[in-house]
Structure 1
Amino acid sequence: MKRNILIIYAGGTIGMQASEKGYVPVAGFEQRLRAQLRRTTGASELPAFEVLELEQLIDSANLQPHHWTELGGIITAHWQQYDGFLLLHGTDTMAYTASMLSFMLQGMDKPVIVTGSQIPLAQLRNDALDNLLSSLMFAAGDAIPEVCICFNGRLLRGNRASKLKSSALDAFDSPNFGWLGQAGIDIELHTELLLQSGTADFKIPDFNPDAVVILPVYPGISARIARDLLSNPAVKGVVLHTYGAGNPPDANGELMAELDNAVRRGVTIVNITQCLQGQVSQGAYATGATLNRIGVIPGRDLTLEAAFTKLHFLLATQPADRVKGLMIQSLCGEMAQ
């Protein structure tokens, strides 16, 4: 029996068209896609698919946490009707959405593939069609029980991926984890890297957009920056973006005091590195050891996107006393064990 895929068109460059103001999202993607496929040799070999288009398309630079609730709700509402899912999404925040979906859809037993493009499908020369066709083929497989990004022939674990290039066609990679597969002359899967199918434990919460903030360190950072970020009582989590192996400017006593005070108030602070490869070894240097004394959680090799979304997800679904323990556990392959 031919497998049936739900394509969710959420917006993004893949479905945009040129306007006087630049590329803009436009409705009617399914008609344009099917017209394109009628002109494509071998399209009959593709899995059957249906297209669900959001009423309000998202320019990914305008993504908000409530969009994750909407997208997760759509997928779970249709979970039993389809063999796999393909989410078309803008590239700027694609890794955030893929990461969040991986946390919301834990225990999944079928593929959720996220893709988009750097050049719209409407353009004569584009990467949209290849990304979409490769993603459809991966979504039709029964051996990928996780959320992935498929882009430029690479199949990446969604919560390990980041957009590394602003305009190149190979925009996405997973610097700290191997590719799960690739679409070249043949479709290849590295099954030894894939998660195992599980029992669905889906949680689609509502999010407080103020609950998590990102605090990057830089030479000369003032304690006032942290104080202003943390002054909002709605803030319950901080992703601290530090140097190297997780080193903050610990000579800045006022800044360290702000972090200490926040932890004492019950704010969860997770430390990740600004480096693309490697991980936080909090305490390898004396500066990092300061964070251990304060009670900051080492985020190991979490990407910024995964750290931000995981903290958001846990704060929205777990009692406060469980968040710290779960942040240091790999829930769905997002960090080294």
Structure 2
Amino acid sequence: MTMTISSPIQLIYAGGTFGCYGRPLTPLAADVFLPTLQELMLSQDSATKLLSISWLDNALIKDSSQLTPSDFVHFYRLLLTAYTQGSRRFVLITGTDTLSYLGAFLAEAFAGSDICVVLTASMRPLLDSDVLHSYTIDTQSDARDNLHNSLKLAAAGESGVKVCFGGESWPAQTVQKIHSHDLMAFTGHSRAAYPANSYIKTLSDTRRNHWLDDQKALFTSIQARAKHTRIHALYCLPNDTDVINNQLQALLSQPPAGIILLGFGAGNVPYSVALAETLEQIHKIGHMVISASQCPFGGVSDSYAAGSWQYEHHVIAGGRLTIPAIYARLLWLLLRYDTPARRKQRWLNNIRQTGTSIKKR
């Protein structure tokens, strides 16, 4: 089927603060929330009334802090199925806690396609819980504007996975949450992590079908691996190196996993002979260790000897990727490829394509 820009926007409700109501706040079920949203907002807003919007059934409604790799795969499958059937434009309403992680994962999973996915959420519920006798939109909430802007962005149909929040939008792989309460809770940018060039502006039916065939052929194994895939984050603190070494040692008995090593500044990690030896052992088992910075911006570099030593022991530089983007890429590689060598090769290929690598001196 040839997909056109006139195809409806498929709206997916997945819970989160956006759809919470009552005391205590709890996500409303889809069969309650979606008709309410239609009645109070979509049918009343002059701009959204002009758009062709339909609902995509989704059974997974939960607080986003509870999402797991299997849940990420659920949304991947939901979108993939609809995309296979001819839909191209989607808006996904989720929660803010893991929005950046889910968005980055979907961006990895749909690279090479011409899908348009916009994720949004809100810091305050759409509905006013001070009014308990009927459903009323909270005029102080950011939910209405976030959804309105997301629908407009999806209507434009530009290929890629994006996050729309607080009046701005960014490629999903660059987004991170920077405030736990403020309505301007997220930020992102357009100059890292191949945000644009991993998508195809328009695909021929033949190329799209080939892409879809590749995805569908692997889905069963991806779904099975998601139940057991683990990604660990080890946070460097001003401790003796025995602390971080012991944490890594504890993973030696675990199946191959992803490990994010959160260093100081530009990725500096305290050195010890024991830690270097443990990294060698970790590599032999098949774990992928990615260096990241505790700083929200700037990423890692090898400018300091305090950080560069780790790259001689099979640690891979996370470059300018955010922590959610590193997590998402690790997760996708662990699900998509069946050997440590292929996962590492694919990561390094991504680096060469996007210029996010550390330049060796």
Taking structure 2 as the reference length, the TM-score comes to 0.81
**1:117 and 1:127 in contact (8 A); partners too:** yes
The question of 1:102 aligning with 2:121 is answered no
Q: Distance in 1 between matches of 2:70 and 2:198?
A: 29
Q: Distance in 1 between matches of 2:11 and 2:22?
A: 23
Q: Distance in 2 between matches of 1:56 and 1:280?
A: 36
* 2:350 match: secondary structure: coil
What are the residue-to-residue correspondences of 1:233-272 with 2, within 5 Å? 233-250=254-271, 252-272=272-292
Partner of residue 73 from structure 1, selected from 73, 77, 92: 77
Partner of residue 95 from structure 2, selected from 87, 90, 102: 90
Q: Distance in 1 between matches of 2:196 and 2:13?
A: 31
Partner of 2:53: 49
Q: Percent same amino acid among aligned pairs?
A: 27
Q: Distance in 1 between matches of 2:178 and 2:260?
A: 19
**What amino acid is the match of 1:297?**
I
**What amino acid is the match of 1:225?**
Q
Partner of 1:145: 159
**What amino acid is the match of 2:95?**
G
* 2:153 match: secondary structure: helix
Matched pairs, number? 320
- Which runs of 5 or more residues in structure 2 are unaligned? 129-137
Q: Once the 2 structures are TM-superposed, how far is the Cα of residue 108 of structure 1 from its aligned partner? A: 2.1
Q: Distance in 2 between matches of 1:169 and 1:225?
A: 36
Q: Once the 2 structures are TM-superposed, how far is the Cα of residue 276 of structure 1 from its aligned partner? A: 1.5
Q: Distance in 1 between matches of 2:146 and 2:263?
A: 34
Change (3 A) 1:41 1:298: closer
Q: Once the 2 structures are TM-superposed, how far is the Cα of residue 110 of structure 1 from its aligned partner? A: 3.1
C-alpha distance after superposition, 1:208-264 (max 9, x if no partner): 444321111111150222222x144224221111111221011x4333332221113
**1:127 and 1:152 in contact (8 A); partners too:** yes
**1:211 and 1:237 in contact (8 A); partners too:** yes
Change (3 A) 1:332 1:72: farther
Partner of 2:8: 4
Partner of residue 246 from structure 2, selected from 224, 242, 248: 224
**2:252 and 2:281 in contact (8 A); partners too:** no
Q: Once the 2 structures are TM-superposed, how far is the Cα of residue 87 of structure 1 from its aligned partner? A: 0.6
Q: Once the 2 structures are TM-superposed, how far is the Cα of residue 333 of structure 1 from its aligned partner? A: 8.9
**What amino acid is the match of 1:234?**
P
What are the residue-to-residue correspondences of 1:129-144 with 2, within 5 Å? 129-142=144-157, 144=158
What are the residue-to-residue correspondences of 1:1-337 with 2, within 5 Å? 2-19=6-23, 22-27=24-29, 28-37=32-41, 40-43=44-47, 45-79=49-83, 80-123=85-128, 124=138, 125-142=140-157, 144-174=158-188, 177=191, 195-197=199-201, 199-200=207-208, 201=211, 203=215, 204=219, 205-206=222-223, 207-220=226-239, 222=243, 223-228=245-250, 230-250=251-271, 252-282=272-302, 284-318=303-337, 319-330=339-350, 336=356
- Which runs of 5 or more residues in structure 1 are unaligned? 179-190
Q: Once the 2 structures are TM-superposed, how far is the Cα of residue 3 of structure 1 from its aligned partner? A: 4.1
Of residues 37-46 and 236-245 in structure 1, the stretch that sits farther from structure 2 once superposed is: 37-46
More helix, by proportion: 2
Alpha-carbon RMSD: 2.7
C-alpha distance after superposition, 1:77-98 (max 9, x if no partner): 1114324001111100001100
Change (3 A) 1:154 1:82: same
Taking structure 1 as the reference length, the TM-score comes to 0.86
Q: Distance in 2 between matches of 1:194 and 1:66?
A: 24
Change (3 A) 1:175 1:216: farther
Q: Distance in 2 between matches of 1:326 and 1:300?
A: 15
Q: Once the 2 structures are TM-superposed, how far is the Cα of residue 278 of structure 1 from its aligned partner? A: 1.2
